[in-house]
Structure 1
Amino acid sequence: MTARVFISLGSNIEPERYLKAALSELSYHFGELTLSSVYDSEAVGFDGSNFLNMVVAVDTSLSIAEVVALFKRIERANGRQVGAKKFAPRTLDLDLLLYDDVVTQVPVELPRAEITKNAFVLWPMAEIAPELVHPLSERSYQSLWDDYDKSSQQLCPVPFTWTPS
């Protein structure tokens, strides 16, 4: 059985380099990727340099726990410090947003709460899955984005090119 998985990618330390490295790793492990645009956004929760963020969709037969463990390995392989502060600069942040329409708290919160709270997650979700329905609000991502207070977080699409190897 395969699940459709949505992943948030973010970096504010050499962000283009680390996003490309993450995409190559994700492509290696999952095959075809559906990519949103890349967005420049201010750091949320701390003062720091801007982030580059995007959302990627993949299909996988891995379990939720296996997906999360893989993301942790990819983060560590790309310089993410184990036990680093949550609100701090980082080379790479990979977060599982959705695993089909599963709603759970264990091993991680799904759907991830930041989907509806952060423009840098919601806008790319609306871009690559506009008609998909959020499993808790029962609203499409496009509808959620249409109603989002866009003045609350500054977000700007930026040019970004990645070629699968």
Structure 2
Amino acid sequence: MARIFISIGSNIEAEHYFNAALKALSKDFSNLCLSSVFESEAVGFDGSNFLNMVVAADTQLDIAQVVAVFKRIEQDNGREIGAKKFSPRTLDLDLLLFDDCVVTAPVELPRAEITTNAFVLWPLAEIAPNLVHPVEQQTYQTLWDNYDKSQQKLWPIEFYWSY
């Protein structure tokens, strides 16, 4: 059984798609642990604000199978295949961590956005503060404490779940 961490983001009907994502994730994975939901400005393009969060879960699937599940969930929820990276989206699911694996294929793990994007690092530090980044060899809480918070505007919001 592997412990995975998933970044969820949306800036199109975000509340609807967050609930849909969590409903789908709860069918394929177990022991979900949810961070707070954070709102942030779009990064890399001019667009409406995003909602973001991190979810931890357990799985018996391998990395490639997990990524395939994420792609299926995204597509089931209106994600356009081949949409450009910096654009509005209904749902974005990214595998951040798979236990303490460090790999480059089928995806890069740990995901680089962990240390570069506040909307990933803050919620990850919230639910796994004492977990150690397998490359940086620092806890996520330490990485968040040392993060330059002037880089990105981010704030927690109240969110009501219906999944």
User: TM-score scaled to structure 2, two decimals?
Assistant: 0.98
Aligned partners of 1:27 and 1:160: how far apart in 2? Answer: 18
Structure 2 unpaired stretches of 5+: none
Equivalences for 1:11-160 in 2 at 5 Å? 11-160=10-159
The residue type equivalent to 2:22 in the other structure is L
Structure 1 unpaired stretches of 5+: none
SS of the residue aligned with 1:33?
A: strand
For residue 161 of structure 1, report the CA deviation from its aligned partner: 1.9
- Is the contact made by 2:32 and 2:55 (CA closer than 8 Å) also made in structure 1? yes
Cα deviation, 1:37-70, whole Å, max 9, x if unaligned, reads 0000011111100000000000000000000000
Cα deviation, 1:45-102, whole Å, max 9, x if unaligned, reads 1110000000000000000000000000000000000011110000000000000000
- Is the contact made by 2:54 and 2:120 (CA closer than 8 Å) also made in structure 1? yes
Aligned partners of 1:51 and 1:34: how far apart in 2? Answer: 21
For residue 21 of structure 1, report the CA deviation from its aligned partner: 0.3
Aligned partners of 1:86 and 1:130: how far apart in 2? Answer: 29
Name the count of aligned residue pairs.
Answer: 163
User: TM-score scaled to structure 1, two decimals?
Assistant: 0.97
The residue type equivalent to 1:139 in the other structure is Q
Aligned partners of 1:31 and 1:112: how far apart in 2? Answer: 22
Aligned partners of 2:160 and 2:28: how far apart in 1? Answer: 20
The residue type equivalent to 1:88 in the other structure is S
For residue 31 of structure 1, report the CA deviation from its aligned partner: 2.8
Identity of aligned residues (%): 70
RMSD between aligned alpha carbons? 0.7
Deviant stretches of 4+, over 2 Å: none
Bigger shift: 155-164 or 140-149? 155-164
